[in-house]
Amino acid sequence: MPGSVADTAAMQAAVRELAQGGCVLCPTETYFGMAASMFSASGCACVYRAKKRPAGKPLPLIAADAAMVQDICDLSRVPEPLLALWPAPLTLVVPVRKAYLAKVVPSLLDAKGCVAIRVSSHPVPRALSRLLGAPITATSANVAGHEPVTAAGLLEAEIRAEGFLLDLPPAPGGGLPSTILSFPEQGKICLVREGALPRSMLEVPGCTLAPQA
């Protein structure tokens, strides 16, 4: 795509870094994030190490598009109107298909074999995922417990030292994090975390929407 964010030397270098098991610092719609392939143990270890994040706390993911998510995850419980909201700051907790379970870095999975994944409204992480051919981690690029940042110049030294910096526009917009939903059974939507999308956008006829107990 000539003229797009994907058509830059920096983007191609970032994709090589991910493919070789490294991690990349890049903008998302909200804050700078740390990206690693969901299939790379070394890349994900880099993210956990830099953030000082407990290994038992799964990282959220970004995919290139809904088709990539559909290929890797079972979306049978997700109502179509919610999928139609993508790309958006809407993260869905969904099970990984059996064919991919052994390939996913175990620390990204919850106890039920699910991942938290979205199709970002920011073109840079979507392009990274598309060119890599795999979803990438989407956790904020900051030490756990510290404030996330919206500019590359504000990245902490220990974070900056661990990742390849891909500083392409548009700049992150800050604000609320992505809304997170899970689907414990057909017709039931669980609001795991309130976020950027208003509740009115999450209501689907024939489904119940309730906060996580």
Taking the chain (213 residues) in consecutive chunks of 10 residues, what is each chunk's mean pLDDT? 67 97 96 98 97 93 98 98 97 98 97 97 97 97 96 96 95 95 96 95 96 85
Domain at 9-211: CATH code:
3.90.870.10
Q: Is 33 helix (H, G, I), strand (E, B) or coil?
A: strand
Task: Note if the bond before 170 is cis, omega within 30 degrees.
Answer: yes
Q: What angle do CA 92, 139, 32 make, to 5 degrees?
A: 120
CA–CA distance, 15 with 20 (Å, rounded to integer):
9
- Per-residue confidence (pLDDT) for residue 161, from 0 to 100: 95
Q: CB under 8 Å to 46, separation ≥6 — which residues?
A: 22, 23, 36, 162, 163
Q: Pick the closest to residue 11 from 39, 29, 35, 30 (CA basis).
A: 35
**Distance from chain centroid for Cα 111:** 19
CA–CA distance, 152 with 59 (Å, rounded to integer):
21
- Per-residue confidence (pLDDT) for residue 99, from 0 to 100: 97
- Per-residue confidence (pLDDT) for residue 8, from 0 to 100: 87
- Per-residue confidence (pLDDT) for residue 94, from 0 to 100: 98
**Tens of pLDDT along 75-123?**
999 999 999 999 999 999 999 999 999 999 999 999 999 999 999 999 9
User: Taking phi first (over 0 means left), then psi (-120 to 50 degrees means alpha), and beta for anything else, what does residue 189 get?
Assistant: beta
- Per-residue confidence (pLDDT) for residue 22, from 0 to 100: 97
- Per-residue confidence (pLDDT) for residue 7, from 0 to 100: 66
CA–CA distance, 109 with 140 (Å, rounded to integer):
18
- Per-residue confidence (pLDDT) for residue 1, from 0 to 100: 41
- One DSSP character per residue, 163-205 reads SEE---SSPP--SS--EEEEEEETTEEEEEE--SS-GGGG--T
